[in-house]
Structure 1
Amino acid sequence: MEVQSRTRIFFRWLLALLYLAAGIMHIRSPAGFLAITPDWVPYPEQVVFITGVAEIAGAIGLMTQHWRRAAGIGLALYAFCVWPANINHAVNDIAVGGRTLGWGYHAPRLLLQPVIIWWALWASGGTNWPFGQRGDAADWVDP
């Protein structure tokens, strides 16, 4: 197995574990996520619950050959769609758990969101950028 393939597998597992943990947190402890949800989001309790389910489903999907591509695309879209909550958290300096985090946290977090989006696509085999061109459908299956 080539180095890039082993690296991709490692980072796929890492991303899946992070999304699994985040999904469980969304469901078990929604208060912090509700606090940062923009006011314009309808049914925020249900949305936070559904985002937790989506994170868990995406994590599981990343680990299956059949669902990997859909999970990578889904998690990338998910990361894009929750960006407004992160912006809301930063701009309005919303306290979570009784404390605010400041721009030392928020600036890197906001700037890393495109990396998280790319990570989901790369971990699922949807792109090899910047490491090379995406090939055919065989790229979606690990050796």
Structure 2
Amino acid sequence: MKVLIVLLATFGIGLIVTKLTGDYNVNLSARIAMAVMMAFTALGHFKFTQGMAMMLPSFIPYKKQVIYITGVIEIAAAVGLLIPAMCTLTAWCLIVFFIVLTPANIHAAMKHLDMEKATFDGPGPAYLWFRIPLQLLFIGWVYWCCLL
């Protein structure tokens, strides 16, 4: 829920700021919002490393390193969204990234993982009713603001 609030609040602020400086720039506001959200989620990779590592299935080695690498990828994506010449490539990479992350989110939900506490007393599969549509929103958002 936090990431959705960050995305929508930043988008709204972006619309207000672009209106105050001229005409609404919906596309720029959308790219900035997704970049801020990606930077926000990247912070979680460094703050909640243990819990995020628990999201990964047992057959994946070097779990903490994978979490750190994906955090760096999210920071790079945030930057890429803000560079017009990189936006298309970044968007396609993010779409693949969001799709690749989906099994880890499903795995975490099935295990009732609470990522922030690194415990197995989280909301469980019911969380997927929010998370899967959220992943689809992220994919659609990136597609809309960078590929259309």
Same fold (TM over 0.5): yes
TM-aligned CA deviation for residue 103 of structure 1: 4.3
Q: Partner residue of 1:114?
A: 136
Question: Which is further off, 73-82 or 6-15?
Answer: 6-15
| Unaligned ranges ≥5, structure 1 | 128-143
Contact 1:12–1:62 (CA under 8 A) maintained in structure 2 = yes
Return 53-62 or 26-35, whichever deviates more: 26-35
More helix by share: 2
Identical counterparts, % of pairs: 27
Match of 2:12 in 1: none
Provide TM-score, normalisation by structure 1. 0.76
SS in 2 for 1:82: helix
* Aligned-residue RMSD, C-alpha: 2.0
Note the 1:53-132 alignment, pairs <5 A. 53-96=72-115, 97=117, 98=119, 99-124=121-146, 126-127=147-148
Aligned residue among 36, 58, 70 for 1:39: 58
Which of 1 and 2 has higher RCO (CA within 8 Å, sep 6+)? 1
| Residue 113 to residue 92, structure 1, CA distance change in 2 (3 Å) | same
- How far residue 95 of structure 1 moved from its aligned partner, in angstroms, is 3.2
Q: How many residue pairs end up in the alignment?
A: 123
Shift of 1:110: 1.7
Structure 1 runs (4+) deviating above 6 angstroms are none
For the structure 1 residues 29 and 108, does the alpha-carbon distance in structure 2 shift closer, same or farther, using more than 3 Å as the test? Answer: closer
What's the TM-score, normalizing by structure 2? Answer: 0.74
